[in-house]
Amino acid sequence: MNLNNFSLQGKIALVTGASYGIGYAIAKAYAECGATIVFNDVNQELVDKGLAQYKADGINAHGYVCDVTDEQGVEELIKKIEDEVGTVDILVNNAGIIKRIPMIEMSAADFRKVIDIDLNGPFIMAKAVIPGMIKKGHGKIINICSMMSELGRETVSAYAAAKGGLKMLTKNIASEYGEFNIQCNGIGPGYIATPQTAPLREIQADGSRHPFDQFIIAKTPAARWGEAEDLQGPAVFLASDASNFVNGHILYVDGGILAYIGKQPK
Active-site residue, from 54, 159, 177, 252? 159
Q: Which is nearer to ligand GCO, 25 or 130 (CB)?
A: 25
> Is residue 196 part of the contact set for ligand GCO (CB under 6 A)?
yes
Question: What is the spatial distance between Cα 28 and Cα 23, in angstroms, rounded to a whole number?
Answer: 9
Q: Are 194 and 258 in contact (CB under 8 A)?
A: no
Single residue of 12, 51, 62, 94 touching ligand NAP by CB under 6 A: 94
> Is residue 22 part of the contact set for ligand NAP (CB under 6 A)?
yes
> Is residue 146 part of the contact set for ligand NAP (CB under 6 A)?
yes
Range 30-69, binding ligand NAP (CB under 6 A): 40-42, 46, 67-69
Helix ranges, the chain (H): 21-32, 44-56, 71-84, 108-115, 121-136, 157-177, 211-219, 232-239
20 catalytic residue (yes or no): no
One-letter-per-residue 3-state SS of 22-72: HHHHHHHHHHHCCCEEEEEECCHHHHHHHHHHHHHCCCCCEEEECCCCCHH
Smallest distance from the beta carbon of 228 to ligand NAP, in angstroms? 7
Question: What is the spatial distance between Cα 108 and Cα 19, in angstroms, rounded to a whole number?
Answer: 29
The item of ligand GCO, ligand NAP, none sharing an interface with residue 95, based on CB under 5 to 8 Å by kind, is ligand NAP
Query: Which chain residues interact with ligand GCO by CB under 6 A?
Result: 98, 100, 146-148, 153, 156, 159, 189-191, 196-197
> Which residues are identified as catalytic?
159
